[in-house]
Amino acid sequence: MANNIAAQRIQREFKEVIKSDEVAKCAIRVELVNDNYTELKGEIAGPPDTPYEGGNFVLEIKVPETYPFNPPKVRFITKIWHPNISSVTGAICLDILRDQWAAAMTLRTVLLSLQALMAAAEPDDPQDAVVAKQYKDDQEMFRLTAKHWTAKYAGGPGGNPDFEMKIRRLTDMGVEEDQARVALSSYNWDLERATEQLFS
């Protein structure tokens, strides 16, 4: 019964979202992953005037049997540098995906809320403490790092030769690239401290 409602609702929402303006404007996208509507793939365009602009962020959406009475389980598949999203697992800290969920919310409102979260981080309720600290202590460093991640993982514009060079220095030492990027990002691109951390 519950399962039935979940599948039926996702089916309706899916039809609604693919007709929506936001899809027409390529701001959000939803794709089915399986036939029984229990898993979907979401996509969000990085909001303008943010370090995520120009990037395309893919999300894993798992629909629980108790949907819509409980929220969908959503996480970023595309790596992202954001205070409320884990830079390692893509787990999201957003109230509507937890206790502030309401049964009338839809996939569309979830994706739009996530897009809004990307535009306005809440560093005081962080998912990734390291990112949140950087966000609070050094906005410019945060912006550059987030932009670099967007270029690297989400197909965003612009490279950062300085960052690239530092990553190459670490990969030359046998460090895996993603790991090198996380370490450098976490230490404000201080090569020495990142190396220390990686080899300690």
Partner 1 sequence: MVIASEAGPSKSGREKEGSPEEKDDRTFECNICLDTAKDAVVSMCGHLFCWPCLHQWLDTRPTRQVCPVCKAAISEDKVIPLYGRGSTKQEDPRNKVPPRPPGQRTEPENNGGFPGFGFGDGGFHMSFGIGAFPFGFVTSSFNFGDHHHQRPAHGAGRGMALLDEDPFVSKIFLWVAAIFIMWLFYA
The CB-of-24 to partner 1 minimum distance in angstroms stands at 9
Distance in angstroms (rounded) separating the CA atoms of residues 159 and 139: 19
Residue number, 13 or 128, with CB nearest to partner 1: 13
Active site includes 93?
yes
Among residues 61, 80, 93, 170, the one annotated as catalytic is 93
List C-alpha distances in Å: 116 to 22, 84, 169, 196.
Answer: 13, 12, 36, 36
Distance, CA of 23 to CA of 194 (rounded, Å): 41
Contacting residues toward partner 1, per CB under 8 A: 2, 5, 8-9, 12-13, 19-22, 27, 47, 49, 66, 68-70, 99, 102-105, 112-113, 115-116, 119-120
Minimum distance, C-beta of residue 33 to partner 1, in the bound complex (Å): 21
Identify which of residues 21 and 192 has a Cβ nearer to partner 1 in the complex.
21
Q: How far is the CB of 57 from partner 1 (least distance, A)?
A: 13
Q: How far is the CB of 59 from partner 1 (least distance, A)?
A: 15
The number of residues making up the chain comes to 200
Give dist(CA 174, CA 91) in Å, integer. 28
Question: Are the C-beta atoms of residues 105 and 68 closer than 8 Å to each other?
Answer: yes
Find the shortest distance in angstroms from Cβ 22 to partner 1.
6
Q: In this structure, what token pair is assigned to residue 29?
A: 């996208």
Q: Residue 102 or residue 174: which is nearer to partner 1 going by CB?
A: 102
Phi, psi of 30, deg, nearest 5: -130, 140
Q: Are strands 39-45 and 28-32 parallel, antiparallel or unpaired?
A: antiparallel
Q: Which long-range contacts (CB under 8 A, 24 or more apart) does 188-193 make?
A: 188/134, 188/138, 188/141, 189/141, 189/145, 189/162, 189/163, 191/166
Which is nearer to partner 1, 91 or 119 (by Cβ)? 119
Select 6 or 194, whichever has its Cβ closest to partner 1: 6
Q: Which residues are catalytic?
A: 93
